[in-house]
Structure 1
Amino acid sequence: MRILHTSDWHVGKVLKGRSRHDEHIKVLAQVVEIARAERPDLVIVAGDLYDSAAPAADSTRVVTRALSALRQTGAQVVAIGGNHDNGPALDALRPWAEAAGIVLRGAVRDNPDELLIAGETAGGERWRLVTLPFLSQRYAIRATEMYELTAAEATQTYADHIARLIGRLSESFAEPGAVNLLTAHLTIVGAASGGGEREAHTVMGYAVPATVFPPNAHYVALGHLHRAQQVLSPCPARYSGSPLAVDFGEEENVCSVAIVDVSTDKAARVRDVPIGSALALRTVRGTLEQLATVNLPDAWLRVFVRETPRVGLREDVQDLLPNALEVRIDPDMMPSRAGERMAQRAGRSPRELFGDYLDNRGIAEDGVRELFDELYDEVSSHS
């Protein structure tokens, strides 16, 4: 059977105040075109469909239309909730999804059997898929308790909880005759983060070893880390990565979806198909004169400007580079902290403290001190 594995769409993402709505439409349209060309039997979306737990109506429309379009290619479609998604809200869409022939699993609920999906390809090949939406540490204990674990087991670590859940859900993998699949939204120990993930959910407390996966799984479709990569595991396991770079920390990522060919008697073979519909994210550095030579009209820019800090510098950079979403002073241009004379508050007037502030940062704009004096006098006279 053939699988199209994608994840971490983050629809609704706003980058430094700039909406990426149109980019998401183009990116997901390209994913649908790949599905039409590759003709997968199954599409797996491994979490973080949205960037926010409270997506706007436009974002919901983009996601539901993309899922419907993927289903219309003839593939069976399964999507799970990620840490950015509102799991119960996704589950509330299940009546719509079921009517459209789409499987949504937003959160771990009371019935563990609903997290095991079974299907059959048009060619008669049977498959079963364990779906594990993102579980916070807070709810992992409750989830394990629901599955009749002992009190001692329920006090183990987050990784142990995940291992027990997967073990319980994948018990049917011992039965022959079907392709065993698993999808989860997790951080795996040793995997490389993409740069834009929510840090609180990628720290070691949330990282689990790949040994949580059963050796008799034929393929594990992972979401959460935005960089496409293979994971060292007892079974074939992979992050598809995000189909677009969601933050400047991801500008070196190669955005793609994974095409997986797998059967009960052949190891999974994976191909990454690049996605190039979104604008690139690029970081540039230089003086204003050097930045004037930059020619990247089809990219969002983060700029480190090598100039002395001054009023209006950001505006000058953005006049040169209208696509500059973030403008910072290059750290090398900031005064050395070792040479700074820190202003002492005790016994110093506000005028003296402000003067030290300007001196320590090399700001010598005409009229700034005089303006401060006027404002300070005005405020003082009304206090």
Structure 2
Amino acid sequence: MKFLHTSDWHIGKVLKGHNRLDEQRAVLREIVRVARDHRVDAVLVAGDLYESSAPSAQAQQLLVQTLLALRRTGAEVIAIAGNHDHAATFDAYRPLMASAGITLAGTARPAADGGVVEFTARSTGEPVAVALLPFLARRHAVRAAQLVTETPREAATGYGRLVRDLLAALTAGFRDDTVNLVMAHLTAAGGKLGGGERSAQSVLEYWVPTSAFPPDAHYVALGHLHRRQSLPAPCPVHYCGSPITLDFGEENDSTVVLVVEAEVGTPTRVTAEVPIGSGRRLRTVRGTVDEVTQRAEEFGDDYLRVLLCEPARAGLRQDVQRLLPNALEVRIDPGFAAPVHTTGPSPPADGADRSPAELFHAYCIARGIADERVEALFTRLHDQATAMHA
């Protein structure tokens, strides 16, 4: 059987105040096209469908339209909640989505209560079982483990061990005559961050050892890390990565979805890493204002983070964004933002012998700001303030 693995859509994600919903719509339309063209038996969406646990109406509408479009390709559609999603809302809408043939899972459940989804692959007639483990916050880990494994758990038990116990309980019913899949949203040990993840939910305390994945799983479809990668484990373990570059820290990551073939008794193969190109490229550029603006045609419609190699001055950001409208972030390169130290004797620490204008001038020098207009503005505002209190 054949399935599509995708994750980390982050619908509703805003980049530096810039709404990207139209881009996200184009990316998801492209994913639907891949599912249709490859005639996959299932689409697995491994969490972080939304950027926020309280998504806008437009973001919710886009998600529903996408899931329905994927279902219309004839594929089974199964999606789990990630750390950005609101798990309880996923579970609340589970019955409604099920009436459309779509499986949503917000929280960990016992295998017999929806923790494992079973279906027959339309292309081969093979039975398929998918064990589902949505994102599990540390504060809920013990309770979830007790619910799924039906055994007591100590609160001090490590997060990785609890997840391992959950996976063991969910996959205990895997059979030799079935294509056995696992889908989870978590940080597997050895995985590399893409660059835009929430660090608080990707740190060491949240790592799960790859030994937690069962050797009889044909494939483990993971979400959470935005970088495409596979990990050494007792079975095939893959992150598909995000299909859209979410932040400038990810600008060199590939944006793909995976098409995978699995068969009973045969090693699973990722047959295609299909590029998703509808999202606009993110690019970091360095140079003086003149240098970066001379390269404007080279940048096309890329979103830019501009690191300027010159001292700060008033209006610098506005000047760059006027010349480069796609510059979403403009900063002084750290090498040019370092304090500038002058030679000669140090002035009195309390500044008692200097006027406010002289103190402000010294401050500008220390901050690497060389702009007479800033100092003139300070002087004018200081004079106005002094006159008001005279």
Q: Which amino acid aligns with 2:230?
A: Q
Q: Distance in 2 between matches of 1:262 and 1:215?
A: 15
Q: What is the CA RMSD across the aligned residues, in angstroms?
A: 2.3
Tell me, what secondary structure is at the counterpart of 1:141? helix
Cα contact 1:113–1:169 (8 A) shared by 2: no
> Which structure 1 segments of 5+ residues have no match?
none
- What is the identity, as a one-letter code, of the residue corresponding to 1:25? R
CA contact (8 A) 2:283 2:302 kept: yes
**Separation (CA, whole Å) in 1 of partners of 2:133 and 2:49:** 15
- Please give the TM-score of this superposition, normalised by the length of structure 1: 0.93
What pairs with 1:119-198 in structure 2 (closer than 5 Å)? 119-122=119-122, 123-146=124-147, 147-152=149-154, 154-173=155-174, 175-198=175-198
Amino acid at match of 2:27: V
2:306 to 300, 303, 308: 303
Q: CA deviation at 1:334?
A: 2.0
Query: Who is 2:229 aligned against?
Result: 229
Q: Which structure 2 residues correspond to residues 191-270 of structure 1 after superposition, within 5 A?
A: 191-270=191-270
- Kept in 2, the 8 Å contact 1:343–1:356? The answer is no
Q: Which amino acid aligns with 2:144?
A: A
Deviations 1:60-79 (A, max 9, x none): 01111111000000000000
Q: For each residue in 1:277-302, what CA deviation from the matched residue of structure 2 results, as whole angstroms up to 9, or x when unmatched?
A: 11111111111221122221221111
Question: Is the Cα contact below 8 Å between 1:197 and 1:226 reproduced in 2?
Answer: yes
Letter in 1 for 2:302: A
Structure 1 partner of 2:363: 357
Residues 336 and 368 in structure 2, CA contact (< 8 A), matched pair in contact too: no
CA distance, structure 1, for counterparts of residue 111 and residue 355 of structure 2 = 64
| Secondary structure of the structure 1 residue equivalent to 2:141 | helix
Q: 1:315 & 1:343 partners in 2: Cα distance?
A: 36
Aligned residue identity for 2:244? L
Asked whether the equivalents of residues 291 and 320 of structure 1 are also in contact (C-alpha less than 8 Å), the reply is no
On the 8 A contact 2:111/2:131 being kept in 1, the answer is no
Alignment equivalent of 1:320, drawn from 313, 323, 326: 323
Asked if 2 retains the 8 angstrom alpha-carbon contact of 1:227 and 1:242, the reply is yes
Partner of 1:275: 276
Work out the CA distance in 1 between the residues paired with 2:265 and 2:153. Answer: 40
What is the CA–CA distance in structure 2 between the aligned matches of 1:14 and 1:234, rounded to whole Å?
A: 38
Q: Deviations over 1:50-96 (max 9, x none)?
A: 00000000000111111100000000000000000011112222132
Going from structure 1 to structure 2, the CA distance change for 1:365 and 1:343 (only over 3 Å counts) comes to farther
Give, in whole Å, the separation in 2 of the partners of 1:342 and 1:63. Answer: 62
Going from structure 1 to structure 2, the CA distance change for 1:215 and 1:350 (only over 3 Å counts) comes to farther
Counterparts of 1:258 and 1:45 in 2: how far apart (Å)?
A: 11
Q: Is residue 2:12 matched to residue 1:12? A: yes
> 4+ residue stretches of structure 1 with deviation over 4 A?
109-112, 336-350, 376-383
Aligned 8 A contact 1:46 1:222 in 2: yes
Shift of 1:349: 7.8
Letter of the 1:312 counterpart: G
Structure 1 residue matching 2:261: 3-state secondary structure:
strand
Stretch deviating more after TM superposition (287-296 or 353-362): 353-362
**1:363 aligned partner, one-letter code:** I
What SS does structure 2 have at the residue aligned with 1:93?
Answer: helix
Give the TM-score taking structure 2 as reference length.
0.92
Would the alpha carbon gap of residues 179 and 159 (structure 1) be closer, same or farther in structure 2, given more than 3 Å must change?
same
Q: 1:293 to 1:371 in 2, by over 3 A?
A: closer
Aligned-partner residue type, residue 138 of structure 2: Q
CA distance in 2, matches of 1:46, 1:353: 56
Q: Quick one: distance in 2 between partners of 1:382 and 1:158?
A: 62
User: CA deviation digits over 1:185-221, x for unaligned, max 9?
Assistant: 0111111111111111111111111111011111000
- Give the deviation of 1:104 after TM superposition: 0.2
Structure 1: how far apart are the matches of 2:213 and 2:234? 7
Identity of matched residues, %: 46
CA distance in 1, matches of 2:347, 2:74: 67
Distance 1:220 1:68 in 2: 24
What letter matches 1:236 in structure 2? P
Q: 1:116 to 1:382 in 2, by over 3 A?
A: farther
CA distance in 1 between counterparts of 2:67 and 2:347 reads 57
Look up the match of 2:290.
289
Secondary structure, in 3 states, of the residue corresponding to 2:11? coil
- Once the two structures are TM-superposed, the CA of residue 108 in structure 1 deviates from its matched residue by 2.4
Alpha-carbon distance in 1 for matches of 2:339, 2:354: 25
CA distance in 1, matches of 2:199, 2:339: 29
Q: Give 1:350 shift.
A: 8.6
Q: Aligned letter for 1:205?
A: E
Aligned to 2:114, the other structure's residue is in SS state helix
Task: Indicate conservation of the 8 Å contact 1:345/1:353, yes or no.
Answer: no
State the number of aligned residues: 381
Q: Secondary structure at the match of 2:372?
A: coil
The verdict on how the C-alpha distance between 1:284 and 1:371 changes in structure 2, with shifts beyond 3 A counting, is closer
Q: Which residue of 1 aligns with 2:76?
A: 76
CA contact (8 A) 1:343 1:353 kept: no
Would the aligned equivalents of 2:313 and 2:374 in 1 still touch at CA under 8 Å?
Answer: no
**1:125 CA displacement:** 0.4
Partners in 1 of 2:49 and 2:133 — Cα distance?
A: 15
* Contact 2:81–2:107 (CA under 8 A) maintained in structure 1: yes
For residue 171 of structure 1, give the secondary structure of its aligned residue in structure 2.
Answer: coil
The alpha-carbon distance between structure 1 residues 346 and 160, as it changes in their structure 2 partners (threshold 3 A), is farther
Say whether the 8 Å CA contact 2:12–2:50 is kept in structure 1: yes
Separation in structure 2 between the aligned mates of residue 257 and residue 5 of structure 1, nearest angstrom: 6
Q: Which runs of 5+ in 2 are unaligned?
A: none
- Given residue 162 of structure 2, which amino acid in structure 1 is its aligned partner? H
